[in-house]
Structure formats: structure tokens, C-alpha cells
Amino acid sequence: MDTLYREEILEHYKFPRNRGCLPHPDITYKDTNPLCGDEVQIDLSVKEGKIAEVKFQAKGCAISQAATSMLTDMIEGKSLEEIKKLGKKEILEVLGIELGPVRLKCALLCLKVLKSGVYGIKEWPT
Ligand code: FES
């Protein structure tokens, strides 16, 4: 299976960016992939409506972990409005490989977690 992954996906899987948790996140959200039970949690610190810091914890396959690592790299400094506009296309672009329906759920779990967290926020610190 590893031969199907691009080198960058493996790199993110082996050396994930932003792994961990924030002590006092402004937003935190966790969800699971219903097909396998794997989990992703994303913590965000928000300043003036923008992502100041992001950390994640994930239990899951290489695709879900690499996609989460890549997503967290992508969102630092972005506004919450920009996050709301992120879609499947952006995740698939950074992964750069074709995915079947099962693997697609793995790849998109992080986006679901991120957007659920961001949409759940009622107000944020300025
Ligand atoms: Fe569980 Fe991919 S197999 S997230």
C-alpha cells in the first residue's frame, strides 16, 4: 500500500506537523471516521479572527494522519471565513493522489473536524 502514497504523504505521516494539543484552545473539536473508528482532534487558538496556532491529535491510517498534518500546515494565519470556504478540493490537491470512496473518508475527516469546530464557535477573542 505504501507504494501508492506519494513521498510527501509518507513524510507527513512519519513526521507530522503540529501534533499535540493546546492548553487553552479557543476551538477544539474531535470526530471519528464511522467506517473504522479512527479519531482526529483539532485545537485552534484564534486571534483577531485568524488562526494563530493549531495542534492536532489523531489515531488512524496514514492518509488520515497525513491529511490532517497537511491541513494544519495550510491553515495557520487563515481567517475563520477562509476556513469556512475550504473544501474537499483543497485537501485532495495537497494530497495529490486519487482516492477511492473509503480512503476519501479518511482524507476528509480532518476537514470535517476543522469545519465543525469553526462553525461551532459563537464568538472569538479579538
Ligand atoms: Fe481509519 Fe483511514 S482507516 S481513518
* pLDDT tens-digit readout, 29-67: 999 998 899 999 999 999 999 999 999 999 999 999 999
Q: Quick one: pLDDT band at residue 121, thresholds 50, 70, 90?
A: low
Going from the Cα of 65 to the center of ligand 1, the distance in angstroms, rounded, reads: 9
Rounded CA separation 32/35 (Å): 9
Rounded CA separation 18/55 (Å): 5
Q: Is the pLDDT of residue 11 over 60?
A: yes
Looking at residue 119, its pLDDT comes to 93
Q: Would you give the end-to-end CA distance of the chain in angstroms? A: 46
- E strands, 6-124, in order: 27-32, 39-47, 50-59
Determine if ligand 1 sits within 6 Å of the CB of residue 58: no
* DSSP category for residue 34: T
Determine if ligand 1 sits within 6 Å of the CB of residue 36: yes
Determine if ligand 1 sits within 6 Å of the CB of residue 40: no
Determine if ligand 1 sits within 6 Å of the CB of residue 38: yes
Determine if ligand 1 sits within 6 Å of the CB of residue 111: no
Contact 25, 124 (CB under 8 A): no
Spans of all domains in the chain: 2-118
Share of the chain above pLDDT 70, in %: 91
Count of CB atoms situated within 10 Å of the CB of 64 = 24
Going from the Cα of 39 to the center of ligand 1, the distance in angstroms, rounded, reads: 8
Classify 2-118 by CATH class.
Answer: alpha beta
pTM of the model: 0.90
